[in-house]
Amino acid sequence: MMVKRSICAVVAAMAVVLSLMAGAPAQAGKYTPRSGPTFNSATGNGAAQRSIVDKIVKTIRSTPRGAHIQIMTWNYASPTATDALLRAQKRGVKVNVLMAKGNLTRVDNPTFKRLRAGLDRGNRGRDKARRSWARTCVQSCRGRGGAAHAKFYLFSQSGRARNVLIQGSANLTTAASSNQWNDVRTTSGSNSGYGFARGVFAQMAKDKPARRPYTSWRGGPDRLAFFPIAGRGSADPVAGLLNRVRCRGAANTASGRTRILVAPDAMREDRGMALGRKLRRLWVDGCDVRIGYTVMGIDVGRMLRKPSRRGPVPLVHLVRDGNGDGQFDDYFHMKAMTIKGNMGGNRRSTVTLNGSANFSTSAARSDENIGISSRQGLTLRYEEHLTYWFNQFRGGSNRYVYGRQANADGRLVDGFLFGTAPVDGVDPYALVELD
């Protein structure tokens, strides 16, 4: 009897090996994506750098047969994700990926090309409704200008979770791990915003202007908004939050002042100036404001550093030149804000904003995703993260160098406010996504 069982076990193991060798679809993994925020660190160990990309890849690997994956990412350059997506399609998952066209036409992108070709091959013999694809969008998919700059990931099922939405600042690229600080927030279930985001994705896939490109959703304490900001009913959601702030009377801060932490990555152009002026007024009125940035327009930087009765608005330049060659190797790519204190008379308000949209006019014209939540625990997590990194970068250079930079056509355009003096003849931002 024992011999018979042993023979059966050997035969079963050989069958598994042979099926894998024959290219049989692998079973879905057992990972279930947890709800909440995920942050990575460009200067951490491998696991800390890859925390976001690894989460997305593990979520892909755990999608079962019959599930649907939809990915919108400004840039796509992850060989690991490509392997996982092609395997998912092989086991019966429908895969749809959208990316900005410029990241295929302006640069060579062998990873995206491999994904697209592999999905096309995997469609042979499949019903039209279950075919997968990888496509690109011209400018903003649903608008008339700008860029396809959104970053959100949709899974009908992964592990035990259904209706999974992962959205934030992270593209599905290697650079998003090794050179950038990013964030995503994961939600799942019937009130996750998943269905709403699917509708936006369907619009984006058509690659033509939508009748109402700005659209928003609310589910309890959570909101989602998708740019472009255009037409009636599309007021800037960031300005809307700041307009509700009252600087005194906070009951949930030790000082009694409302606290605002801002990490917009890029803060420039007319929209960046308007939001910057609002933040400066709140600072002068008594709010505790700190702004961490990667790219800042010269005019915005000058305005924020103007003298006031409380001094200039506190600024932190969130960039790192690791090898001393004058170029920034690592930088904050988050587009986040937290508010804690008095908002519209509610003295215990907590608000977190995250997503893909910088504080710029370019972002207002682009396809972007923004998440807003009044969940206290979420705000505390983001506050803790931002405060830690603001303090880590606080000891950097306070010298500011004003300059001009050539655009893609070689013409000089408005430059940026640098937090570290550049080396002669070297563009500090050569390795940085400027928007």
pLDDT at 17: 43
What architecture is domain 222-418?
A: 2-Layer Sandwich (3.30)
C-alpha angle with apex 333: 328 to 338, nearest 5 degrees?
130
Ramachandran sector of residue 149 (left: φ over 0; alpha: ψ -120 to 50; beta: rest): alpha
pLDDT at 424: 61
DSSP class per residue in 331-384 = EE---EEEEEEEETTEEEEEEEEEES--BSHHHHHSB-EEEEE--HHHHHHHHH
C-alpha angle with apex 166: 109 to 69, nearest 5 degrees?
65
> What are the residue ranges of CATH 3.30.870.10 in the chain?
29-211, 222-418
pLDDT at 3: 44
pLDDT in tens, the chain (435 residues): 444 444 444 444 444 444 444 455 678 999 999 999 999 999 999 999 999 999 999 999 999 999 999 999 999 999 999 999 999 999 999 999 999 999 999 999 999 999 999 999 999 999 999 999 999 999 999 999 999 999 999 999 999 999 999 999 999 999 999 999 999 999 999 999 999 999 999 999 999 999 999 999 999 999 999 999 976 667 999 999 999 999 999 999 999 999 999 999 999 999 999 999 999 999 999 999 999 999 998 899 999 999 999 999 999 999 998 888 878 899 999 999 999 999 999 999 999 999 999 999 999 999 999 999 999 999 999 999 999 999 999 865 433 333 334 344 444 344 444 444 445 667 788 888 877
Under CATH, which number does the domain 29-211 receive? 3.30.870.10
Residue 347 main-chain phi, psi, to 5 deg: -80, -5
pLDDT at 260: 98
CA distance 240 to 242: 6
pLDDT at 232: 67
CA distance 241 to 230: 18
Residue 88 main-chain phi, psi, to 5 deg: -60, -45
pLDDT at 408: 44
Reference 296, options 276, 333, 267, 263; nearest CA is 267
pLDDT at 347: 98
Whether residue 31 contacts residue 56, with contact meaning beta carbons closer than 8 Å, is answered with no
CA distance 398 to 317: 9
Whether residue 366 contacts residue 213, with contact meaning beta carbons closer than 8 Å, is answered with no
CA distance 196 to 224: 9
Q: What is the pTM of this model?
A: 0.90
